[in-house]
Structure 1
Amino acid sequence: MVVCEGASFPERLLKQAFEMAQNMKTELIILNIFLQTMNAQDSKYAQKWREKFCLKAKEGLKPWKEKYPDVQVSQVVKFGEPLRVLEEFLMENKGIKYILTLKEVSVKEALAVKPYWAKSFKH
C-alpha cells in the first residue's frame, strides 16, 4: 500500500511501489488522503471540491498504470484527518503487509495501528 498526500504521486515512491508489486506479483493499493476539516464536509462547495480532487487523483495515477500494465492497482481516495483516515483504512483492510510513504511520521503512526513492516523514503 502507498499513502499519498492529496493527488501527489512522488516519482521515487511510486516507482518503488510499482516495482515491488510487480516483483511480488501482488495488488498495489494507492491511498490518496485529502485533508478536510469536519465543518466543511457537507457543504456544496466541499462536494465539488471532493469531486475535483477525486478526478485529479485518478488522472495522476493513470500514467503509472500505463507504465506498469501488469500490476493490478486499486485506488482509494479518502477525505479527513490523515492519521484517522489511515487508522480506519488499516482496520478495515487487515491483509496489508507493506506501507510505503514519504513521511516517516506516517509510518510510525501506521505501525502503531498495524505492526507490520513499513518503509519510508526521505525527501
Structure 2
Amino acid sequence: MLATTPVLAASRDLPQAIAPDKSATLTVADFLRSMEVLSRIGPVRAEQDPDYVSALHGLTRIGESYRVDYESAKNAGKTLDSCPVGGVKMTTDTLIPFLLRLPPEQRSMSMDKAFRLHMRQRYPCPVKGEIP
C-alpha cells in the first residue's frame, strides 16, 4: 500500500478547488519561474506545485484563446499577425527559448502577449503576392 498524506474525511465530499484563471495575469517571469520548478524537482513533484499547475493551465487557456482568435480572423477574411500552417501543435520546446531571450525588463509582459509574439516570429504570414 502506498503511503499518503492524511486527508480530512469530509474533504472527499467537497468539490475540488477550482484554481483561478491566472492566464490574464500570468507574466513571462511567472511562467519561467514555474518552469524552473519543473527542472528543479522533476515532473512528478512539479505536478503537485500549485504555481506550476496554474502556469500550465494558464498557458493552455492562452493557446486556446489564440486558436479561437486565429480561426475567427481567418474565417472573417481578416489580416492575421501569424500564419501557422495546418495542424501546428505548439510546445514549450520553442516557447521557452523565445521567452529566455527576452530582456529582463520585458519579462513583466503578459504571457498572452509573449505567446502571440512568439507565434508571429515562428509563423510569419507571407507577404502579399508571395507563395506560402
| TM-score (structure 2 length as normaliser) | 0.29
Q: Higher strand share goes to which structure?
A: 1
State which structure, 1 or 2, has the greater radius of gyration over its C-alpha atoms.
Answer: 2
| TM-score (structure 1 length as normaliser) | 0.30
Q: Higher helix share goes to which structure?
A: 2
